[in-house]
Amino acid sequence: MLKPEIRKIVILGAGRLAVNLSMAIHKKGYDIVEVCNRTESKGKRLAWKLKAMYIPEPAMITPDADLYILAVSDTAIPLLLDRIKTGNRLIIHTSGSVKMDVLREVSENFGVIYPSQTFTDHKLLRFRNVPLCIEASSGKNLLLLKSFAGSLSEKVYTINSDQRRILHLSAVFASNFTNFMVAISQELLLENGMDFRILEPIIRQTAGNASSDDVFKMQTGPAVREDRETIREHLQLLSNHPDYKEIYDLITRNIIQRKKKS
């Protein structure tokens, strides 16, 4: 008997994640046969790039693919599941927050490939470095997804649904909130006639510290030094930005507390 294998793939979705993931799959030589997407222009554009067929309506996708990938927003997942028929073929979603088990209603074979990375519109990411977090409904499906994910990326982690939700939450802190901190600093610099690139090296260095096994040990600045004088001065400088002042105050108090615990 032949080893079960993934060859024919259907992609549902044509957003940033769908584009990055499906282009990586396509480049590895898999056959993406159909792209299904509500917005015709986006769906057709992606289908064209993948040499795939564009399908406007979920109910009309082919029933004989080896893998169905839901690369859509969390809210779209249940809507799609109500309309597609995939028999017992393998179906996965790519969400950080949605439980794997929601897929049970359409197939006995299901799983998740969650890339813990953000994708942008303007540039395809090098997929080999994108961490792929996988979960599957059975040992057999896990092996299938492991080998599939492993052909796309060097970083494959097996985690369960609860861990995936925590991972997604952690990524909000590590990526979305850090980005907002940098956006605030950029705003302050520009407002005061300074070149925002002046902080590039310190930001790059801080990101480098993130691979340390105790990031809090790398903490520097007035909060961890409990330099009350500087903290007071900074809060005063922020009097025109009550919102940022509140953020400064809360994070500073947290850093001081955390230091006392450690």
Stretch that binds a copy of itself, among 7-15, 29-37, 64-72, 192-200 (CB under 8 A): 192-200
Q: How far is CA 28 from CA 24, 100, 152, in A?
A: 6, 26, 7
The least CB distance from residue 148 to a copy of itself, in Å, is 19
Stretch that binds a copy of itself, among 4-12, 33-41, 53-61, 181-189 (CB under 8 A): 181-189
Q: Is 234 in the site for a copy of itself (CB under 8 A)?
A: yes
Query: Which one among 23, 53, 102, 171 touches a copy of itself, defined by CB under 8 A?
Result: 171
Residues in the interface with a copy of itself (CB under 8 A) total 91
CA distance 119 to 76: 18
Q: DSSP characters for 63-96?
A: S--SEEEE-S-TTHHHHHHTT---TT-EEEE--S
Q: Is 133 in the site for a copy of itself (CB under 8 A)?
A: yes
Q: Is 117 in the site for a copy of itself (CB under 8 A)?
A: yes
Q: Is 255 in the site for a copy of itself (CB under 8 A)?
A: yes
CA distance 96 to 134: 11
Q: Is 53 in the site for a copy of itself (CB under 8 A)?
A: no
Q: Which residue has the tokens 């969650």?
A: 114
CA distance 100 to 136: 8
The least CB distance from residue 46 to a copy of itself, in Å, is 20
CA distance 107 to 91: 7
Query: Which one among 4, 56, 85, 118 touches a copy of itself, defined by CB under 8 A?
Result: 118
CA distance 152 to 84: 26
Q: Is 79 in the site for a copy of itself (CB under 8 A)?
A: no
Q: Is 257 in the site for a copy of itself (CB under 8 A)?
A: yes
